[in-house]
Chains A and B, each alone.
Chain A
Amino acid sequence: MTKVIAKKICMVGPFAVGKTSLVRRFVESIFSDNYMTTIGVKISKKIVEANDYQVNLMIWDIEGVDVFTSLKPSNLRGAAGVLLVLDGTRPKSIDVADDIYKTLREYLPDVPVVCLLNKSDLDIDWKLESTDIQKLEASGMTTIKTSAKTGENVEQAFQILVDEMAQNSEGSVLL
């Protein structure tokens, strides 16, 4: 019989990079072009499979970081994985990512972090260069280009994180 376990993952990143849109695409398969800023936290749930486990993902969509709002470490507590979302059309989001990643490593030193380079559908406006991506990967993150709009790589990104979570806890009873 398939075992069922619950896992918390966090969506973090600068403001307006598409965290909520990615969650909506992943959980509800819908997308809206209207930008509605997230305030606080919104929790969504979705079941995925990994290593014969049925994983009840509890996805914490956390308000984006800007000059008014910093990442609250208490919201990260207990997370088994993190999706750090950036906007590939906004180089500024890379600078902010650096600080966020430091916070993640301080409070969640061992959990896997997958970096989503979102808005890949806007290829004309795409500003991230391969050197930026190399830098992100050098810090220990897996990167993947996604588009909440077209759905490109969204399922895969979540699956990569769940797989890394599984690998990370190999041998432990949890996953």
Chain B
Amino acid sequence: MSLLDGVIQELGVVALAKEDNSHFRVLNNQCSWFDDLLRSLGCILSEDSSSISCDALCNAFPFIENFLIDAKDIWNSSNQQTIRSGIWTELDQKNNEYQLEARACCIQGEAVLLIENHTPTFFKYQGVYQKARDIALLNEKLISELNLRQRQLQSEIERHILQSNSIQQVSDSIQGHTSAVLICQPNGDVEVINKALVDIYQLDPQADLKRTSLLDQWIAEAEKVYPELKRVIEKGSYWEGEFESKNASGITRWVRLTIGPIKEYDGSISHYVCVANDISEFRNMNDSNSSEHGYDFTTHLPNRRHFWRHINNLAESVRSDEYGMALMYIDLDYFKRVNDDLGHQAGDFLLSTIATRISRCVKYHDFVAHLGGDEFVVVMQYVEDIALLQLVAERILAAVRESLFVNEQSISMSASIGIATTFDARFEPGDLVRQADLAMYAAKELGKGQARFYEIHMEHNIPHKLQRERELIDALEKQEFVLHFQPQISISGKESVRAEALIRWQHPAHGLLAPGDFIAIAEESGLIIPIGTWVLKQACRVGADLIGRHQQTSITVNISAKQLKHPGFYDTLVQCLSESQFPASLLELEITESCFLEDMEIVISLLNRIRQLGVTIALDDFGTGFSSLNYLRKLPVDYLKIDRSFIQELKVDHESQAITASVIKLAQKLNIRVVAEGVETLEQFDFLRRWHVDFVQGFLFYKPLPLNVLQESYCTIRTLNDENKLADS
């Protein structure tokens, strides 16, 4: 076989020239797949395989019969166009699938029909569409779910108003809701407005919100597409719709609004209940018009679809192989945590800032896209030297690391970057993206905050996350988890010994791993439920055992939002306590503010049931989330843990001192006891003691201790408690 034969065979293209109205001349015979398929379909080439009749071809391939009608137009026209049939699938007698595509063109004045076999690469191609459609399906489900929930909330509020006849009670119940709620009188005077509405519309919380009626604005905006709106609601009917709405900063967002009137006994309207959700993200994904432009609303960068279109165009365009092309896959580390803690709006601000910084790190002809969530890509053409890519990646990493201020807090992010390159004039976009993605995973595995180039061995490694998931399942079975305990020292001196149970993973290859190395994966995969249950069981067992050793210790256990909201959580808790015989009064559950982000009332009711068992509740990381001193009084908590970030700033930052002092004072007024975590210096300790914090926890006293060391330290901890008491009095 000559080199040319090999090349044509590799390309999988059969060329047929139209001889007359009844025959095609077969121009090449290197593609055995064509002969095999024809034979399997009962079609026979001429004896010397040099021609095939039109009828035979059309009988074998009805799809081509249809395509020939369009092909004839091209063959009969004078311009040099080529048309493609699009892909179709043929089955041979053994049910093997062939993905084929026909092309019609004129070459040197002859009518040519090319039949290309895409089978070898089809599944990669299909995979891209499969992913896109899976995402679109998920998106559709989310919209449907959102609509349903919005309607449910609307009816709940209406029912609540009619039953309780008290707008104030309703106001309390919807303050923490993630949907924006406005309740107003028919003249627009506002009675209730919740935080989500303030956030979405960027209203000035200092302003008199009672005067900030959005009803008129909504009607004016929505009437452009729903001219009947005013009539419908004035008649006292329910209305819902989606339209573009401007917030206080003049930014336009897509809003889904429902308006339901509340009627008096005489049929007159007393109030309108309006529920709104910001659906910009969904609309941007779905709107085919906006996909023409394809920009992400938050970051104003090209979105995922735009990116795929761009890279597919690059792959199809004629490119010199003198220059290479590089794709950088950038994933922000721990973004989800930041987003959960600071809220959606702060998360958006952070993404938009980082997007700008990434864009500034590359040249004007490079392409930066925001794929969604915390993922960005940079496509760089005209790459002469791979070493330069490392410099660009480092520039991006440094730009992301620069601190930024969100909600008056200084935050420093980091990113992991995977880099894939190609010097082939033609390349497979899906492969390039996958390679960059694998390299990004490898960068995360190295400890985040760094860049890695794709290497072939990465293909053979199971991506880290999946591997960790499997290892976590094994770890549960093989009992590789252990608990360490960090004592909390009493400043008031009245207490028995208290310690926080902290999970560690005795990894067979990597040694003792801290929660930061695996909890996020456990959360994402759902393994946090069985792991959390193990922690709870083990903590109760240890607690009961310590009592048997006359070392009674109150034990606090961290409970994730997912775990708390799991339907079986309460029963599991009761079971752990009864099996271990550990007194409920010595067990404390530490939850974070994110537990209250949704379904606040349900969570409050669950916590009340838990407290009835005798278990105490501590609110962890206070100050980092949506902390509001006002809402604190609503929550059924016994302890408040001031986040370490405040404690660590105490010495230098007067603001942190003021916040910490006021939190302590308020908690004391509410009979909530205060624990300060992350105490590392005497100055911090002195400050906290001055303000009568109840407990301190940190390296100044103890780092997390293995159980045997805790037992050995028991007497010393008691002494420390007593010493503090003496010092205080």
Q: Which residues of A contact B (CB under 8 A)?
A: 8, 15-16, 35-37, 39-43, 58, 64, 66-68, 72, 74-75, 77-78, 90-92, 127
Contacts and interface: CB of A to CB of B under 8 A. Distances in A.
A67 B70 contact: no
Nearest to A61: B89
Contacts, number: 68
B63 A15 contact: no
B288 A39 contact: no
Contacts of A16: 133, 137
Contacts of B144: 90-92, 127
Interface in B72-118: 86-90, 99, 101
Given A39-B122, A39-B126, A77-B66, A66 B133 contact: yes
Contact of A40 (B89, B137, B143): B89
Given A16-B133, A67-B288, A42 B88 contact: yes
B86 A67 contact: no
Interface in B123-145: 125-126, 129-130, 132-134, 136-137, 140, 143-144
B66 A39 contact: no
Contacts of B126: 36-37, 39
Contacts of B572: none
Q: Is the interface of A mostly helix, strand, loop or mixed?
A: loop
A127 B151 CA distance: 15
Q: Is the interface of B mostly helix, strand, loop or mixed?
A: helix
Contacts of A40: 86-89, 99, 101
B62 interface: yes
B129 A41 contact: no
Given A39-B122, A75-B66, A127-B144, A67 B286 contact: yes
A90 B88 CA distance: 27
B552 interface: no
B648 to A, nearest CB: 49
A41 B63 contact: yes
Which of A36, A39, A43, A66 gathers the greatest number of chain B CB atoms within 10 Å? A39
Contacts of A68: 129, 132, 305
Given A16-B133, A37-B126, A41-B63, 4 more contacts: A40-B99, A43-B63, A72-B86, A75-B66
Interface in B415-434: none
Given A72-B86, A74-B70, A91-B144, A39 B129 contact: yes
A39 B62 contact: no
A41 B88 contact: yes
Contacts of B88: 40-43
B345 interface: no
Contacts of B388: none
16 contacts: A16-B133, A16-B137, A37-B130, A39-B125, A40-B101, A43-B63, A43-B88, A43-B89, A66-B133, A67-B286, A74-B69, A75-B86, A77-B66, A90-B144, A92-B140, A92-B144
